[in-house]
Amino acid sequence: MRNTGDGSFILKWSDYELSLGERTHIMGVLNVTPDSFSDGGQFLAREEAIRQGLSMAREGADIIDVGGESTRPYAEKISTQEEIDRVIPVIEALHRDLTIPISIDTFKAHVAREALGAGASMLNDITALRFDPDMMSTAAEAGVPVILMHMKGTPADMQKNPNYTNLIPEIIEFLEDAKDRAVRGGIKERMIVLDPGIGFGKNFDHNLEIIRDLAQFRKLGQPILLGSSRKAFLGHILDREPRERDTGTMATIAAGVMNGASIVRVHNVKMALDTVRVIDAIRRGRTGDANNHLV
């Protein structure tokens, strides 16, 4: 990754290059789980998951983020082998047909290694490499981009009355420490993306404050990922079920992009592409064209 000095970044590795300063990039969410909060069970069947991944690529996703274990509040843990069995066949199939990077959403080093061997080329760890002692070396040896997220607590307890003395500075301090720890662990700084963790140990007001003040995270000097898609705080505002929250999601994406988000993680790629094109045009005065990511 090269910081161009104006908040723009070029993330380059292996066969991939993402020019994050030219336009906002879209990460499509692919949950191969029975219990994720938004689409649990919808893509648990292997063929359905593969079909959805290919569809998101056609619709303009720049990255497909595959996860096999739900990290919603109070989610039940699953074994490493079960997680592997869910995600590896999907990653292998997508890798054969896609030219865009595939991210593995996991905090388990063994799952990460298997996924990287199957064709994944990014790591998205909600624990910022803290929960599995082997995750740091796995990421460093792979030399791939790593997304480090802020989470207060664990999925089992993170929503039990989360509180902060000073929200934004505390999250910034956490992410700065996570970045420094990753660099000390052998991960190149140019490979680090930071995520303030909407909905992970945050209450309703915390989530709104993060989106409103997202520009403050730019002082960290890394690309910022915003993952607000269909989250519970939108349900509280709109009184809608998760799959009915896409319009609300796009409002948060618009605010996030205006405040400097480099990547947005979404369930509805088609709607997100339209949103970021318009906001990019307003903010940057130009637009990026969607690509056909099928070989």
Which residues belong to the active site? 231, 265
Angle, to 10 degrees, between the axis of helix 135-142 and the axis of helix 167-184? 70
Q: In angstroms, how far is CA 201 from the centroid of its own chain?
A: 16
- Bridge partners, 226 (sequence order): 264
Cα dihedral sign for 251, 172, 71, 143? positive
The span from the first CA to the last CA of the chain, in angstroms, equals 25
Angle at CA 226, nearest 5°, toward 269 and 240? 65
